[in-house]
Amino acid sequence: MNKIYFIGINGIGMSGLAKIMKLKGYEVSGADLSRNYVTEELESLGITVYNSHLAENVCDVNLVVASSAIKQDNPEIKKAQELGIKIIKRGELLSLLMNKEKGIAVAGTHGKTTTSSMLGSLLLDIDPTIVVGGILPEIGSNARCGKIEVFIAEADESDNSFLHLTPETAIITNIEADHLENHGSLENIKKSFKQFMDQTKGEILVCGDCFETLELIKNRKNVKTYGINKLDANIMATDIRVENGRTKFKVTIEGKVFGEFEISIPGNHNIQNALPVIYLAKKYGISKTRISEKLLKFKGAKRRYDILHSDKIRIIDDYAHHPTEIKATIQGAKTIEKNKTIAIFQPHRYSRVNFLLNDFKGSFEGVDEVILMPVYSAGEKNEFGVTLEKLKEKIGHKHCIIVEKNEDIEKIVAGEKESATFLFMGAGNISSLAHMIAENIGRTGNEVI
């Protein structure tokens, strides 16, 4: 099994594993329909990336790894089946790697990428292997191959692929209804998380601020809770305050004050994300001084409150697309953004908008204006009758408009006369628009067209 082929290789999860396998000495190739910011790094490592899915691409490989988005009629899948080449999903490959090591798996509906990236950043001194769902600035990548057996990765619940994992340690950030097109109900999601907990060999760190997680930890002896609202948590943040754009808080572990820390990324959700990271960094021998230093320097993974331009006009790129994530991002923004704030939102998948439509009510409270862009379909057909007009009505913001074209967004930003912050939010291709506008502002001042 020395030649591995990745179908959908430019995906953030797939590309990370492709890099790890290349660094482990395997011959790696793959295909994707469009290039993005990870393609160049893949090619710089000597990985061949095809820009079309053709049967002949897999004729000389030993293993095919397929993204969960790949359909069975994909020509590479069909050819691999014809040739008898083994086909596995990304989650299965991750399990083959992590289950042999001291795996630290970060699971949860929200916050996986930030928490795993923060943990990876703080544990870099011990040289772990890292595979995360965003670009970690400290390593300039979403993956690195370490020299010790500690393996940090996100555990993806969206398609239940995290059930292939048997980690040494697990973090569960929260549990909420999402990806209902796969799970069907919140109860099914909770069953999956229960199984994931059952499979964890050692300690499970659970956010006690989330009611759904608390239901699953009764009578479990290998659980520690963390939080900012749960006063009996094993790991707790208190004395929270925002000063000069930084969030400061005191951390107590098992009833003893460990120290005061600061983070540069806004929002209470990021304090929650930091708590299990601080605990594990301490457990792995990182000094309190070093934890404090690295935590403050952590600016977030790419697309997690990513400040692309900061002047009179501020351009922020953020991955938030679930109503809860949107609320958290806006709550965090309002602690540091003092000017007019405008949210530009690209809904993600017709199925998600349909299943979560009622949850969008009030989700943009706190911003001055909301701009809705067309739904990023991710290949889905609109079988649900989803319209932007229905979403606008459900959001219920008094200053909400629908804009169909990127060019109109550019004009809105260019025409802004006041100091303002534009929050570009969504899991689709809205990031490219945010980057283009930020780059144009950088070249021409606040004029973007």
Query: Which residues are part of a known binding site for ATP?
Result: 108-114
**Integer CA distances (angstroms), 64 to 19, 33, 81, in order:** 15, 17, 10
What backbone torsions phi and psi does residue 12 show, to the nearest 5 degrees? -65, -35
Query: Of 19, 22, 102, 112, which one is the catalytic site residue?
Result: 112
CB atoms near residue 419 (< 10 Å)? 13
- Give strand ranges (E) for 63-120: 63-66, 86-89, 102-107
Annotated binding site: 108-114
Instruction: For residue 131, give Cα distances in angstroms to 19, 154, 312, 395.
Output: 9, 7, 36, 35
Structure tokens at 159: 């398609």
* Cβ neighbours for 428, distance < 8 A, ≥ 6 positions apart: 321, 346, 348, 376, 378
Give kind and range of the element (H or E) at residue 1: none
In three-state secondary structure terms, 266 is coil
Considering the candidates 76, 113, 327, 329, report the single residue annotated as catalytic.
113
Q: Which residues contact 244 (CB under 8 A, 6 or more apart)?
A: none
Is 112 catalytic? The answer is yes
Sheet with 63-66: list strands edge to edge: 48-50, 27-31, 3-7, 63-66, 86-89
CA distance 415 to 447: 8
Report how far apart, in Å, the C-alpha atoms of 258 and of each of 235, 261, 291, 292, 369 are: 10, 10, 11, 11, 41
Residue with tokens 């949210």: 343
* Catalytic choice (76, 101, 154, 369): 154
CA atoms of 449 and 326, how far apart (whole Å): 28
154 is catalytic: yes
Nearest to 397 by CA among 442, 364, 373, 433: 364
Chain-centre distance of CA 440, in angstroms? 27
- d(CA 157, CA 372) in angstroms, rounded, equals 28
Q: What would the DSSP string read from start to end of 352-419? A: HHHHTGGGGTTTTBTBSEEEE---B-TT----S---HHHHHHHH--TTEEE---HHHHHHHHHT--S-
CA torsion sign for 414, 417, 420, 426 is negative
Residue 324 appears among annotated catalytic residues: no
In sequence order, the β-bridge partners of residue 279 are none
Q: What are the residue numbers of the active site?
A: 112-113, 154
